[in-house]
Amino acid sequence: MTLGGVVFTEFLIKTGLALFILGNALNFAGLLTWVERKQSAVMQDRIGANRARIEFKSKWLLPVNWILAPFNALGLFHALADAVKMFAKEDFMPRGADKFLHTLAPAISVVFALLAFAAVPFGDVWHVAGRSINLQAAGLNAGILFVFAMMSLGVYGVILAGFSSNNNYAILGGMRAASQMLSYEITMGISVMGIVLCYGTLDLQEIVRHQSGLWGFAVQPFAFILFMTAALAETKRVPFDLPEGESEIIGYFVEYSGMKFGMFFLTDLVETVLVACLVTTFFFGGWQVPYLLPDGFHFPWGAALALPHTAVIFLGVTAFFLKVIFFNWFFMAVRWTLPRFRYDQLMHLGWKILFPASLVNTLVTSVIIVWRG
- Domain ranges across the chain: 93-372
Q: What's the pLDDT score for residue 48? A: 83
Q: What's the pLDDT score for residue 249? A: 67
Q: Which residues, listed in sequence order, are joined to residue 297 by a DSSP beta bridge?
A: 292, 305
- Whether the ω angle into residue 356 lies within 30 degrees of 0, i.e. cis, is no
Measured distance CA(112)–CA(147) in Å, rounded: 9
Measured distance CA(178)–CA(156) in Å, rounded: 8
Read out DSSP for 130-169?
A: TEEEESSSS--TTHHHHHHHHHHHHHHHHHHHHHHTT-HH
Residues in the chain with pLDDT values less than 50: none
User: Helices 355-372 and 221-234 meet at what angle, rounded to 10?
Assistant: 150
Q: What's the pLDDT score for residue 12? A: 87
Q: What's the pLDDT score for residue 47? A: 86
For residue 59, the tally of other CB atoms under 10 A from its CB is 7
